[in-house]
Amino acid sequence: MKTRYLFPHRFKKLGWLILIPSLVLGLLLTNEVISFPWLDLNVFALYDPAMLGEKTATKEVFEIMENNLADEIISCLLIVSTLLVACSEVKEEDEYSAKLRLESLLWATYVNAGILIFCILFIYGLGFYQVMVYNLFTLMLLFLMRFHLVLYRASKMSGNEE
């Protein structure tokens, strides 16, 4: 089935190749297990207000500032790779896989919203900032888990029925 907005199947493998190391590196970086001091570079910032407890920035907009680029690079890799895995055709793309894809996306949206509401109600301060960082990626990760689980179940089920 030709779908207008899906990448060809070969992009899925490339997505996994980028996603797995990026996910591991991202978790290690956010938990401060590793760091990349050689990625401290001058970057252009459109907007850079002072964070809580920081000295007031001399200039908040259109400034050149020093920043460690590790989190930016890993975040971009995570976004691109989850899109490649999630939005590439499965081996035999047809209307049933399209239905499973749509259902999984809805399921992920509901679960993600539920988790977010829970965190809004029960997590405060810096913890909530951390939640928001993780929340940048949870929707797509939940979708990927669910979609591949239902695809696996469907293939198992059809194997048993033969």
Partner 1 sequence: MKNNVRNERVALKLTQEDLAKKIGVSRQTINAMETNRYIPSTVLALKVAQVLNKKIEELFMLEETD
Residues binding partner 1 (CB under 8 A): 1, 91-92, 94-97, 99, 151, 154-155, 157-158, 161-162
Least Å distance, CB 162 to partner 1, is: 6
Q: Are 151 and 112 contacting, i.e. CB atoms less than 8 angstroms apart? A: no
Q: Which is nearer to partner 1, 32 or 162 (CB)?
A: 162
Q: Which is nearer to partner 1, 1 or 50 (CB)?
A: 1
Q: Which is nearer to partner 1, 82 or 104 (CB)?
A: 104
Dihedral class, residue 94 (left if φ above 0, else alpha if ψ from -120 to 50, else beta) = beta
Least Å distance, CB 3 to partner 1, is: 14
Letter for the amino acid at 9?
A: H
CA distance 123 to 133: 13
CA distance 114 to 110: 6
Q: Which is nearer to partner 1, 13 or 99 (CB)?
A: 99
Least Å distance, CB 102 to partner 1, is: 13
Least Å distance, CB 84 to partner 1, is: 21
For 16, the 3-state DSSP assignment is helix
Q: Which is nearer to partner 1, 66 or 162 (CB)?
A: 162
Least Å distance, CB 82 to partner 1, is: 24
Q: Are 89 and 8 contacting, i.e. CB atoms less than 8 angstroms apart? A: yes
What are the residues facing 7 on neighbouring strands?
88
Radius of gyration of the chain (CA): 20
